[in-house]
Structure 1
Amino acid sequence: MSCENCKTGFKWNGTPTGKESTLNNAKAYVAGDSKEAAIVIITDIFGWTLPNIRILADHYAKEANATVYVPDIFDGEVVDPDALSDPEKAKNFDLGAFLNRHNKEARWPEIKAAAQTLKSQYSKVIAIGFCYGAWACLKLAADPSLIDAISVAHPSMLEKSEIDSIKVPIQVIAPENDFMFTDELKKYTLDALPKTGVQWEYVYFPGLQHGFAARGNPNDPKQKAGLERAKRSAVNFFNEFLH
């Protein structure tokens, strides 16, 4: 996986209002207090402590009337958020080594167990995955006993077989410029989803690039409009399939 855009972006201003807790044996950020509906955010490589993701969790909790969980899926390893905008720190962060440590086989059992726990506690559970987290959402989506619906934003590490295996409603948030979710994969997704028989939607963001929905520049009008539209699109999807 060669994705320089996977480790660049902008840290958002704002103070998260949720709390730190646990989900199974992992630390987790939790926002909201619904007893019926839950959302689990499966993060990109910047993980559960990135302020942007916590701010999104707060929005989701309030606007979709859900309890939102952002679990640590990297076994305690945290990427310095300054690597988003500091070229020296970004250069020193070895993405390939990180992904070798946190490959699908290593991380999937814990992610699956987290979904199973939430499904035992809530009537409806939706997963949303950003970049790295998208592959895990698709694996969850192959088993309706694990998840009720999924959303994926600028997905990476996807395999065509994972798209073919989807059995729950899916939303795809797709920027125009994305060398992880390539034009070929976009086309395959649009060809494959109608064949799955599930409800699906594909939300396209012209002119934007990989990472925008979680790490876009809020001071750039086009990126700000895109990341806000992505948030609204996800909330609408959550409300449709949670309630």
Structure 2
Amino acid sequence: MTSYSSGKCCFQGKRHEGSPSGDIIKIRNIEAYVKYPENASTESGIILLTDVFGHRFINSQLIADELAAKGYFVVMPNLFAGDAVALDEADTIDFAKWINGGYSDTKQSHLPPAIDPIVEACIVEMRTKYSVKKLGAVGYCFGSKYAIRFLKAGAVRVDVAYVAHPSFIDKAELEAVAGPVAISAAEKDEIFPYAKRRESEEILEGLGLPFEITIYGGVEHGFAVRGAPNDRGVQFAKEGALSQAIRWLGEFLQMPRALQ
């Protein structure tokens, strides 16, 4: 793998404060948090793929709102069929049991056979019903795997990806990308440590596509979405990662380029 599978650090973090202003709707039969830009345009879209805390987690909703404020139509789908992790129960969760559906009433897993159809359905709906012309994927932790999986050649795909503190990404998935990739990485990350960052860099160099990997010093896995709000160093890195995402998406979704 170019990043290790999720671990305990993927279930830790702090809740942020704010007032999300998007809506919960259905995309086909999938619940999603949706936020339109001020001009209501859907020409440039982002599918935001969350960490294990899901689409109703306030931290992720606030990020979706910030991306929409930059001119994007943002769709953040429910990836977990009602089985997202609750922050106040995260310390009791066994990852292997959770990802295999052990806590779910339906016993549905949270592996690619279950997640891929959700992401695919939302991408198709965004391209067709909502007429999105350029589509980016933003993935945090768990969601980063699927941002990468859908940045590939094929009928159902995104045009560009940004991921933060990625987890669970197979080497073959990264080798298959067919568009620009940006990564925000934490210096102190057991899931995406130095060796995996270097391996990912070598793979992306070999592909010859635009990419960047930015390391944020002094922070740990999860900083870009659920870092401690009262730690200025963590928040500085979080703000930097979001700025990186916005700059990257702006370059490849909103500016005419020969690559597109």
Question: Which residue among 165, 185, 196 is the counterpart of 1:154?
Answer: 165
State TM-score, norm by structure 1. Answer: 0.93
Question: Which residue among 36, 44, 47 is the counterpart of 1:37?
Answer: 44
Answer whether contact 1:144 1:167 (CA < 8 A) is retained. no
Q: Which runs of 4+ in 1 moved over 3 A?
A: none
After TM superposition, the structure 1 = structure 2 runs for residues 21-36 of structure 1, keeping only pairs within 5 Å, are: 21-32=25-36, 33-36=40-43
**Structure 1 residue 70: deviation in Å?**
0.8
After TM superposition, the structure 1 = structure 2 runs for residues 86-101 of structure 1, keeping only pairs within 5 Å, are: 89-100=89-100, 101=109
- The number of residue pairs the alignment matches comes to 236
- Give the equivalent residue in structure 2 for 1:127: 137
Answer whether contact 1:119 1:147 (CA < 8 A) is retained. no
The answer to whether structure 1 residue 214 and structure 2 residue 225 are counterparts is: yes
- The code of the aligned residue for 2:93 comes to F
After TM superposition, the structure 1 = structure 2 runs for residues 1-243 of structure 1, keeping only pairs within 5 Å, are: 1=5, 3-32=7-36, 33-63=40-70, 65-82=71-88, 89-100=89-100, 101-120=109-128, 121-143=131-153, 145=155, 146-243=157-254
Where does the alignment leave 5 or more consecutive residues of structure 2 unmatched? Answer: 101-108, 255-260
Higher alpha-carbon deviation: 71-80 or 215-224: 71-80
SS at match of 2:168: coil
Q: Distance in 2 between matches of 1:157 and 1:45?
A: 12
SS at match of 1:228: helix
State TM-score, norm by structure 2. Answer: 0.87
RMSD: 1.3
Identity of aligned residues (%): 30
Deviations 1:161-214 (A, max 9, x none): 111111011111111111111222111111110111211111111111100001
Deviations 1:203-231 (A, max 9, x none): 11111110000101121010010101111
Answer whether contact 1:38 1:126 (CA < 8 A) is retained. yes
Higher alpha-carbon deviation: 227-236 or 117-126: 117-126
Q: Distance in 2 between matches of 1:90 and 1:80?
A: 6
Q: Distance in 2 between matches of 1:133 and 1:90?
A: 17
Deviations 1:118-142 (A, max 9, x none): 2232011100110011111111011
> For the structure 1 residues 190 and 238, does the alpha-carbon distance in structure 2 shift closer, same or farther, using more than 3 Å as the test?
same
**Structure 1 residue 144: deviation in Å?**
5.7
Higher alpha-carbon deviation: 70-79 or 162-171: 70-79
